[in-house]
Chains A and B, each alone.
Chain A
């Protein structure tokens, strides 16, 4: 069972499904979903049987690439295929039928690309799939390409990725020529630049702080796409890369990863608290949770980061799909126009709340377990750093804890605003039934968000999946951390209720509110002005540079042309001058010479006889001299 055929088959099945779906338009949904299920089944089988496979193949002469499927890769492949299958199923009823062929083709293409990325052993192969995944996400974000917003967001996502990938490519090439291109052969990397390049590449893909602008914008794509790509899979690619090279990176780079992660987590959560669009809240939430994962990697808790990646996939996908169902039935994304839906959508509300609790990190849910691991690791890392003399390290942990509080806050706000506050919707909700295709995935994901599913010990920070993925269990001595975090979450819920609870003043005017007038509020609402900063600096700067170059070009080029023209005229004038003075001068000179010679000659013929005689004698002498000597 250890031959690579099965894995290659698993890799290609989603793409085949997509292409077949595109070809046979009528049955597109069924074909695509079927293939997705097949791939999932295959992958699970391989996982259960302990499949382990590695190979090298010749790509161009003297250059080999390679696949490697170890436990980690296989687990993540199965995760991707599971979420992909659920999203396929959900999309059958969510997307319009005429959109199906194109949609499923793109979806299948994306899934295959993601699998390829996970399976690659050679860094360049990984980079190829990295780019292909970026391209696939571009296709999917801009799915509704008639809308200008969608096209713009797709472009933004792709370009931001590309910028980060420059650093990544540089790092890969340097690393490859220094050590090896094969992930399985990597040893410790001493160079900070290489490490930084790899980190930046991962940051671009996982929407960390300088590169975070594309993720909230990507919400213009279909909601199932957001569930698949931006919750569970593609954004996890950056984390995956970090998991692979992390153990070999120098200390400095890891510390940077931790700092960036903490800051991003804080930034995402801070922005999410004032957003009005359901999907925007979830998008910033994703940014924040990815920051947590980076933080985990930075402090050295690779297994906890992986675990959080795993649990996050489930509850975030669940949240997105719930939002999808919500939008399908209410018809709007804006929370200001919702409210009081708890009565009519009890079942949806339950699922939404389950996933939300998992996100917040409330005990008994999966999110709690994975976050514990990260938080404990952060604390011990900070302790270590303080012992080594860097007491500022604790700032990182404080940020992490504060983010926990904010996370609870924003998700509670979302839930309240949608379901429990007095109704602000203009029309009442239609009481149509739910399609099973949309319901089953949601239910499954919500179940997976429960703590008990992930590990028997619901208060520990480990789950069975960690062993499966080849990590050792996180061993942290019992500390105060779990209680502190739980306390923070509770405080978050209570504080939110205090502000947004029913019959509160703020709530009654919520329908008309836009952004909070305070400075913090505005900072939060506008995403810390990061995007407008980019716009101002990069776009305007670029335009200014372009204008400057244009001016220069005009001056230089036109100047040159004019100069050539003028110089031509000048040269012509000079030539005419030369002609007048030099050429004519020569002529005049010859005239003058002949005149002088003539004058000279006529002097011989002078009126004076004696002159004549003298000349005669002269010539005579000359003759004599010539003849005799």
Chain B
């Protein structure tokens, strides 16, 4: 078999996940952070898909489909909240959104 071994996919998924994490930790813009979250979710989906290749029942794919749906729903809600926040504070910078005293 000359197919790509699964490790590669998994490593790639791991890389995507770490980068998503990095974006979440690093960026100041809320939307940017949301993007990072989407990236992380994608990494997980890729992981599922990689493993479902060896499954005759396609459980991994199913899981990934569900996850995609939920991710989309979550993105919608997040955006709604973002708009609310923007209305209130007139900023989308995480640095300025601090009400908890340090």
Residue positions of A touching B, CB distance < 8 A? 602-603, 605-610, 613-614, 617
Q: Contact between B21 and A617 (Cβ–Cβ < 8 Å)?
A: yes
**Apart from A607-B98, A608-B98, A617-B25: 11 A-B pairs, beta carbons within 8 A:** A602-B102, A603-B102, A606-B102, A607-B99, A607-B100, A608-B95, A610-B24, A610-B33, A610-B94, A613-B25, A617-B21
Determine how close the nearest CB of chain A comes to the CB of B22; give it in whole angstroms.
10
- B interface bracket (residues with beta carbon within 8 Å of A): 10 to 19
Q: Contact between A607 and B25 (Cβ–Cβ < 8 Å)?
A: no
List 12 contacting pairs A-B, 8 Å CB cutoff, sorted by A. A606-B102, A607-B98, A607-B99, A607-B101, A607-B102, A610-B26, A610-B33, A610-B94, A613-B24, A613-B25, A617-B21, A617-B25
Closest to A611 in B: B25
Q: Using Cβ atoms and an 8 Å threshold, which residues of chain A touch B99?
A: 607
Given A608-B94, A609-B94, residue A614 in contact with residue B25 (CB < 8 A): yes
Q: Contact between A610 and B101 (Cβ–Cβ < 8 Å)?
A: no
Alpha-carbon gap, A608 to B99, bound state (A): 9
Determine how close the nearest CB of chain A comes to the CB of B39; give it in whole angstroms.
14
Q: Contact between B102 and A610 (Cβ–Cβ < 8 Å)?
A: no
Alpha-carbon gap, A614 to B100, bound state (A): 17
Q: Could you mark each residue 32-49 of chain B with 1 if its beta carbon is under 8 Å from any beta carbon of chain A, else 0?
A: 010000000000000000
Alpha-carbon gap, A607 to B102, bound state (A): 6
Q: Using Cβ atoms and an 8 Å threshold, which residues of chain A touch B98?
A: 607-608
Alpha-carbon gap, A613 to B33, bound state (A): 12
Determine how close the nearest CB of chain A comes to the CB of B14; give it in whole angstroms.
13
Determine how close the nearest CB of chain B comes to the CB of A326; give it in whole angstroms.
128
Alpha-carbon gap, A603 to B101, bound state (A): 10
Determine how close the nearest CB of chain B comes to the CB of A397; give it in whole angstroms.
123
Of A602, A603, A610, the most chain B CB neighbours within 10 A belong to A610
- Contacting A at CB under 8 A, from B61-102, are 94-95, 98-102
Q: Using Cβ atoms and an 8 Å threshold, which residues of chain A touch B21?
A: 617
Alpha-carbon gap, A617 to B18, bound state (A): 11
Q: Contact between A610 and B100 (Cβ–Cβ < 8 Å)?
A: no
Alpha-carbon gap, A603 to B21, bound state (A): 20
Closest to B26 in A: A610
Alpha-carbon gap, A602 to B102, bound state (A): 7
Alpha-carbon gap, A36 to B20, bound state (A): 141
Alpha-carbon gap, A603 to B100, bound state (A): 12
Of A602, A609, A613, A617, the most chain B CB neighbours within 10 A belong to A609
Q: Using Cβ atoms and an 8 Å threshold, which residues of chain B touch A605?
A: 100
Alpha-carbon gap, A609 to B98, bound state (A): 9
